[in-house]
Structure 1
């Protein structure tokens, strides 16, 4: 066999291996009650702003604790082992990825949906139409 064929086959096998490993990390969307039975899930919801958000970089710069309400209205304490994201309190909604242990959700990632800077302009355009 030619070297080019062998290299091509190895590249195809490596690509397939990469795709398989990438799909194994995909977690499913759930709510907090579904998270009890799964290992790693994504929970979409809202930050509960009237409960404390604990982040003190002088004590532990890699610890943020807050409360979140999922799409079905269930609230839970969330511990994020990283610094608090910028504009965290201004977010419209959150998606946290992680797992539930002992009625506490341990988040490994947080995705924020922040308010659009064009939102007021969109509302104004609708009023003028």
Structure 2
């Protein structure tokens, strides 16, 4: 075989491997039942269950925020974020939690909030350290980080 053909085959193999690895990292939304069965972090979409309230005491423990959320299937579970309460949490329309389920409690590492806006539909990402990053949705419906 010629040297150029071997280099071409190696390049094609690397490209295929790269595309397969990109596809493996794609996450879709799940619900609390699927998160309970999974051992990895899941993205759970739902709504804050306002009737059950929330618990956050900045003086006692500023890094513990707990509330109840109803997922897209109607299941209500307790959610704990080991971080401060996100700003404007009460105004959020929809939530996306990223985390794991342990013993009937969902432990979120991140909370994405869709807040109502007069002009646009932006989502806000809240990390465990309390930093907030605004996300915008592109025309395909996927999320992009806004600088």
TM-score by length of 2: 0.62
CA deviation map 1:49-69 (0-9, x unaligned): 111210111011111000000
Structure 1 segments (4+ residues) deviating >3 Å: 22-28
1:68 match: secondary structure: strand
Structure 1 unaligned regions, length at least 5: 1-15, 120-129
Could you tell me how far apart the structure 2 residues matched to 1:71 and 1:63 are? 25
Assess, with a 3 A threshold, how the Cα gap between structure 1 residues 25 and 82 changes in structure 2: closer, same or farther. farther
CA deviation map 1:27-54 (0-9, x unaligned): 4420001111112100000001111210
Measured on the aligned residues, the alpha-carbon RMSD in Å equals 2.2
Could you tell me how far apart the structure 1 residues matched to 2:109 and 2:48 are? 16
The structure showing larger relative contact order (alpha-carbon pairs under 8 Å, at least 6 residues apart) is 1
1:26, CA displacement in angstroms? 5.6
1:93, CA displacement in angstroms? 0.3
**Cross-structure match for 1:69:** 70
Instruction: Spell out the pairing of 1:1-129 with structure 2 (5 A cutoff).
Output: 27-38=27-38, 39-118=40-119
Assess, with a 3 A threshold, how the Cα gap between structure 1 residues 57 and 25 changes in structure 2: closer, same or farther. farther
Alignment size in residue pairs: 102
TM-score by length of 1: 0.71
1:105, CA displacement in angstroms? 0.2
